[in-house]
C-alpha cells in the first residue's frame, strides 16, 4: 500500500470515518456503479431521493435483485463480485 494512502487512512480513522483499504478497487467500483445506476433510475422514475428509496421496503431491495445478473456480467469481464 502506498505511504500516502496509509497516512490518509490514519486521518480517516482519527475522525471515525468508515473506510476499507484493499487492493481490488475495481470490485468496489463495479458494485458502486451497479447500485448507483439502479438507484438513479429509480429516483428518476419515482421522484424519490436516495434516502427515501433506501428506506422504502418496496424499492430498497431492487438493487440487490439486480446483483445475480450483474455478478455474472462482471465475472465474464474478469471481476468477481459477491453479494
Task: Note the pLDDT of residue 74.
Answer: 75
CA distances in angstroms from 24 to 19, 30, 52, listed in the order given: 14, 10, 31
What is the distance between the alpha carbons of residues 46 and 82, in angstroms, rounded to a whole number? 28
- 14 or 68, which is more confident? 14
Residue 1 confidence class, pLDDT cut points 50, 70, 90 = low
Task: Note the pLDDT of residue 82.
Answer: 67
What is the distance between the alpha carbons of residues 53 and 18, in angstroms, rounded to a whole number? 22
Residue 47 confidence class, pLDDT cut points 50, 70, 90 = very high
Cell numbers at residue 82, please?
Answer: 459477491
Task: State the average pLDDT over residues 13-32.
Answer: 79
Amino acid at each position: 500500500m502506498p505511504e500516502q494512502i496509509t497516512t490518509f487512512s490514519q486521518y480517516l480513522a482519527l475522525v471515525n470515518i468508515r473506510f476499507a483499504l484493499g487492493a481490488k478497487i475495481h470490485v468496489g467500483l463495479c458494485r458502486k456503479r451497479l447500485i448507483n445506476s439502479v438507484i438513479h433510475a429509480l429516483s428518476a422514475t419515482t421522484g424519490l431521493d436516495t434516502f427515501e428509496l433506501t428506506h422504502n421496503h418496496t424499492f430498497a431491495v431492487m438493487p440487490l435483485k439486480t446483483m445475480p445478473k450483474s455478478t455474472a456480467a462482471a465475472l465474464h469481464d474478469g471481476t468477481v463480485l459477491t453479494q
